[in-house]
Amino acid sequence: MLFWILLLIVAYLIYKWGTNTFDYFEKRGIPYNKPLFLVGSRLSVILKNCDIIENVQQLYKEFRNDKISGMFEYKHPVYFIRDPEIIKKLTIKEFEHFTDHRLVIDENVEPLFAKGLFGLTGQKWKDMRATLSPAFTGSKMRLMFNLMNQVGSQMTSTIRDQINEGISNEVEFKDFAKKFTLDIIATCAFGIEVNSFKHPDNDFFKIGGKATNFANIPIYKLVLFFLLPDLMAKLRIKLLDNDLYEFLDVTMTDTFSEREKRGIVRNDIIDLLLQAKKGNLTHDEDQEISNESFAAVEESDIGKHKVKRNWTDEELLAQCFGFFFAGFETVSTVMTLLAYELLLNPEVQTKLQHEIDKVAQSLNGKELTYERVQSMKYMDMVVSETLRKWPPAPLVDRKCTKPFTLEYDDGKKLDFEIGRNFYFPIYAIHHDPVYYPNPEKFNPERFSDENKDKLSNVLYSPFGIGPRSCIGSRFAILEVKTIFYYLLLNFNFEATSKTKVPLKFVKVPTIFVIDGGLDVKLVPRTS
C-alpha cells in the first residue's frame, strides 16, 4: 500500500512539474496553443505528423489576426511573433535585449558545437562575430572565389568525362549537390582537395553525411535535450555522433599546426582564422556594393568593432566546425531546391542560361572572375527567389537577455523576462499573400531592379534579421552562383521518370529534408 501511495505522490509531482508553466500566457492575456503534458505544443512534431513547412504554417495561421501568440516548447513558454514591425523592433532596434539563441547543448560536453558562433552568448558572441566578420567581406570573398572556381570547373569536367564514358547522366541532386558543397568546404575551410565525384567514399563525405542526417536523430533524444538539458549535460550525452567531432578535431588541428609551422597561405578560412588568432584580421570597407546579392546580409556595427581578446585553439576550431556543419547541409539543400525550380520552370532555366552564355563568351576563354559572377543580374534574381520560397532557416529564435517591455497596438504591453524566447517565422512571412502575391509561384521578377526595393529586410530575410543574422550569407550565395554557372553552362536540367513533383519533406521539425531526394537528368549542351 505504501508503495502505491509513494508512486502516486511521485506521479503527481512529475505532473505538477510538467505543467507548472501552462498558465503562463493565460495570465498575460496572450492567445496560445493549448499544451499537453510534457510535450506542450509539439505533439505533431513528436509523432512526426508534419514537416517543418507544415509546422511553421500551422503556427502562423492558428492566430492569424494576432500579432503575438504563445506556444509551448515542451514545457517552456515561447512567444510566436508574426508582425514584421514587432520582429524588426526586437531583432534590430532592441537587439541588446535579445542577443542570444536558446541553446540546449552544453559547451563542456560538445564544445565544437556550443562554442561556435551560433551557440556563443553575450559579449563573447559579439567579440567572435567581430573577429570573424572580416573573413566574410567582399574583399575576402574575392580571394576565396578562386578556390570555389577551381572546384566548379573541375567538377563539371569530371561529370562530362563520366557521361562520355557511358556513366548514367541521371543523378540524385541532393547527393550530387553535397559533393559540390563538401569539396568547396574542404578546400576553402580546410585546405584539402578531396574531389568527391572521383572519390565518393572519401572520409570527408562519409562523415559529413552522417553528421547532418537529422532525420536519424531519435525524436526522444531531441525531446530530452529540450526538456532536460541540464540532465543531458550531467550524463554527458551528445546530440551529434562523436565520430564527427573526433574526425574534424584531428583534421582541423593538424591543418592549423601545419599552416603555422610551414607558413602556408591559401586565402581560405583557416588562413583568416590564423590571422584572427594573431590579431591581424581587420574589417575592410567593401567596394562595388551595388553588385552585391540582394539576399546578402549587411554586417552591423557589432561586426565591425575592434576586438582585444585572445582566442583559444578550441574556440577557433569550433568556428571551422560551425562552417562545416552549416555549409554542407544548408547550401546543398538550397542548391537542390533551386534545381527543382528550374525543372518546373524551364523558361527560367533558359533565360538564366542565356545570361550565363553571354558571360562565358565575354571571357574569351579566360577564367571566370568574382566580378563577373556578381554582375549576373538574372542569376541573382533566381537565387533570391529560391531563398524567398525556400529560406534556409524557416523558423528563427531569440532569447531575452535583458528585461524589456514591448508596447504595441496603442496600449498593449508585454513584459519579456530574462531567458524567455520568441520565434519569428521567416518561411510563413515569405509565403504570406499579403506580402507576396501568389507566393507559391516561383517568380524571379520579384527581385528585378523595379521591384526589389519594395521589400524590407523583415519581409525578406532568408538569412535572418539584425546583428545575429547569418555571417556566411555572402559565401553561401557565391557558392551557389558559381556552381550553377558551371552546371548550366554545360548541362540542361531535365526531369526523369523518377522525379517527384511536388517534393515531399521528411517529417523533422528543424530543417528541410527532402524525402527521397530529387532525380535530375543532366543533358550535355552542344555549342
Residue by residue, DSSP assigns 272-338 as HHHHHHHT----PPPS-GGGS-TTSPPP-GGGGS----PPPHHHHHHHHHHHHHHHHHHHHHHHHHH
- Tens of pLDDT, residue by residue over 274-290, are 777 776 666 665 544 44
CA 38, 60, 443, 445: dihedral to nearest 10 degrees? -120
- Tens of pLDDT, residue by residue over 472-494, are 899 999 999 999 999 999 999 99
Instruction: Assess if residue 43 is contained within a domain.
Output: no
The secondary structure of 49-79, three-state, reads CCCHHHHHHHHHHHCCCCCEEEEEECCEEEE
Contact in structure between 272 and 281 (CB atoms under 8 Å): yes
C-alpha cell at 107: 559547451
User: Side chain identity at 75, as an amino acid letter?
Assistant: K
Instruction: Assess if residue 324 is contained within a domain.
Output: yes
* Sheet of strand 519-524, all strands in order from the earlier edge strand to the far edge: 170-172, 519-524, 491-495
Q: What is the number of residues in the chain? A: 527
First to last CA, the chain: 87
Question: What is the domain count for the chain?
Answer: 1
Instruction: Assess if residue 77 is contained within a domain.
Output: no
CATH number of residue 393's parent domain: 1.10.630.10
C-alpha cell at 382: 533566381
DSSP character at residue 523: E
* CA–CA dist 77, 112 (Å, integer): 28
Judged against a pLDDT cut of 80, whether residue 269 lies above it is answered with no
C-alpha cell at 185: 568546404
* CA–CA dist 260, 258 (Å, integer): 6
C-alpha cell at 311: 582566442
For residue 158, name the pLDDT band (cuts at 50, 70, 90): confident
- Tens of pLDDT, residue by residue over 402-457, are 999 999 988 889 999 999 999 999 999 999 999 999 999 999 999 999 988 888 77
- Among 217-231, 260-274, 458-472, 498-512, which is the least confidently predicted range? 260-274
Judged against a pLDDT cut of 90, whether residue 198 lies above it is answered with no
Judged against a pLDDT cut of 80, whether residue 239 lies above it is answered with no
- Whole-model pTM: value is 0.90
CA 7, 12, 17, 18: dihedral to nearest 10 degrees? 100
Nearest residue to 499 via CA among 19, 172, 87: 172
User: Side chain identity at 216, as an amino acid letter?
Assistant: N
What pLDDT shows up at residue 286? 52
Nearest residue to 283 via CA among 259, 300, 296, 260: 300
Q: Is 470 annotated as a binding residue?
A: yes
Judged against a pLDDT cut of 60, whether residue 326 lies above it is answered with yes
* CA–CA dist 479, 473 (Å, integer): 10
Give residue for cell 556543419: 325
Range among 34-38, 203-207, 310-314, 335-339 with highest mean pLDDT value? 335-339
Q: Mean pLDDT across the chain, nearest whole number?
A: 85
Instruction: Assess if residue 148 is contained within a domain.
Output: yes
Which parts of 402-459 are beta strand (E)? 404-408, 412-416, 421-424
Classified as helix, coil or strand, 189 is: helix
C-alpha cell at 115: 562554442
Instruction: Assess if residue 63 is contained within a domain.
Output: no
Residues of the chain with pLDDT > 90: what percent? Answer: 39
* CA–CA dist 362, 384 (Å, integer): 24
Beta bridge partners of 36: 40
* CA–CA dist 115, 110 (Å, integer): 8
Q: Cis link prior to 502 (omega < 30° from 0)? A: yes
Instruction: Assess if residue 60 is contained within a domain.
Output: no
Return all residues near 447 (Cβ < 8 A) that are at least 6 apart: 294, 380, 381, 384, 385, 388
Nearest residue to 18 via CA among 1, 42, 2: 42
Domain that holds residue 138: 83-524
Give residue for cell 497596438: 409
The secondary structure of 192-225, three-state, reads CCCCCCCCCCCHHHHHHHHHCCHHHCCHHHHHHH
Residue by residue, DSSP assigns 7-33 as HHHHHHHHHHHHHTTTTHHHHHT--BP
Judged against a pLDDT cut of 80, whether residue 394 lies above it is answered with yes
C-alpha cell at 500: 517527384
Q: Cis link prior to 439 (omega < 30° from 0)? A: no
Q: Which helix (H) or strand (E) segment is 398 a member of?
A: strand 396-399
Mean pLDDT for the stretch of residues 75-86: 94
C-alpha cell at 325: 556543419
Beta bridge partners of 424: 396
Return all residues near 153 (Cβ < 8 A) that are at least 6 apart: 367, 368, 486
* CA–CA dist 83, 86 (Å, integer): 6
